C-alpha cells in the first residue's frame, strides 16, 4: 500500500513506509473489523453522549428507534438520515462516500430493508426502526456476514465495508438467488474502490450455503 502520510511536530507531512498488514496491526484490527470496530467504538460513544437537542430555529423533533434504542432529537428538515446518524447520534460506522446515492457506503436498514441513508431525509423516518453496522454484531458475537467478510478478506481499506455488509445482510430477505450473477446484480449499488469484489462475492456466497 502507499506510504502513510504522518504529520510531523513542525506541521509538515512525513511519509512512513507501512505495509497494509502493519497498518492494520497498528490499528489493532483487520479491515472489516476496523469498520466494525469504528462502529462499535462510535456506538459506545453514542451511549456516553446524549443526543444533541439544541433547539435551533426551524428544527423539528424526531423520534427514531436506532439499533433497538429510542432516540429523540431535533433536526433541521434538510438533514439526511445519514447526517442524523453520523453527526447527531455519532454513529460513524455508516460512511459518507458520494453523498449522492451512487456508492452505497451509507447503506443502513430501515424497518429491515436496505436504504441509502444519504438520499433519505431524517424527518421521513419518524418512528422507524433503523439498524446501522453498530447494531449488527458485537466484538464477541459477530453477525455471520461479518464473520464471512473476515474469513474471505473481503475488504482492503474498509471504507465501503459497513455498507457492503448492511446491503449483503438485507439481500438475504430479497428475491435473489445464490448464483454469482444474481448476487453481483443485487450488490451492484455498493461500490468498492479497492476492487475487493471477488472476495465480497465469496463471503456472501458462504452465508448462502450456511
Residues that bind ligand FES (CB under 6 A): 96-99, 101-106, 116, 118, 155-161, 192-194, 196
Q: How far is the CB of 44 from ligand FES (least distance, A)?
A: 24
Q: How far is the CB of 190 from ligand FES (least distance, A)?
A: 9
| Nearer Cβ to ligand FES (67/161) | 161
| Nearer Cβ to ligand FES (166/177) | 166
- E strands in the chain: 4-7, 13-16, 60-66, 69-75, 107-110, 113-116, 129-131
Please say whether the beta carbons of 22 and 4 come within 8 A.
no
Q: How far is the CB of 8 from ligand FES (least distance, A)?
A: 27
| Nearer Cβ to ligand FES (90/199) | 199
Please say whether the beta carbons of 150 and 33 come within 8 A.
yes
Per-residue three-class SS string for 67-80:
CCEEEEEEECCCCE
| Nearer Cβ to ligand FES (40/149) | 149
Q: How far is the CB of 80 from ligand FES (least distance, A)?
A: 9
The pairing of beta strand 60-66 with beta strand 129-131: parallel
Amino acid at each position: 500500500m502507499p506510504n502513510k502520510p504522518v504529520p510531523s511536530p513542525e506541521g509538515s507531512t512525513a511519509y512512513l513506509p507501512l505495509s497494509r498488514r502493519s497498518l492494520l496491526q497498528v490499528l489493532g484490527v483487520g479491515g472489516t473489523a476496523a469498520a466494525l470496530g469504528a462502529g462499535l467504538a462510535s456506538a459506545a460513544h453514542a451511549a456516553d453522549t446524549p443526543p444533541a437537542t439544541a433547539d435551533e430555529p426551524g428544527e423539528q423533533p424526531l423520534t427514531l428507534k436506532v439499533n433497538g434504542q429510542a432516540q429523540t432529537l431535533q433536526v433541521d428538515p434538510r438533514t439526511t438520515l445519514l447526517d442524523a446518524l453520523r453527526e447527531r447520534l455519532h454513529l460513524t460506522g455508516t460512511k459518507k462516500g458520494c453523498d449522492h446515492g451512487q456508492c452505497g457506503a451509507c447503506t443502513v436498514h430501515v424497518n429491515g430493508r436496505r436504504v441509502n441513508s444519504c438520499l433519505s431525509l431524517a424527518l421521513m423516518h419518524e418512528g422507524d426502526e433503523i439498524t446501522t453496522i453498530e447494531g449488527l454484531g458485537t466484538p464477541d458475537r459477530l453477525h455471520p456476514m461479518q464473520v464471512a467478510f473476515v474469513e474471505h478478506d473481503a475488504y482492503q481499506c474498509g471504507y465501503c465495508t459497513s455498507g457492503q455488509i448492511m446491503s449483503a445482510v438485507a439481500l438475504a430477505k430479497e428475491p435473489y438467488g445464490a448464483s454469482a450473477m444474481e448476487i453481483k446484480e443485487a450488490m451492484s449499488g455498493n461500490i468498492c474502490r479497492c476492487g475487493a469484489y471477488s472476495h465480497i462475492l465469496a463471503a456472501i456466497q458462504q452465508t448462502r450455503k450456511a
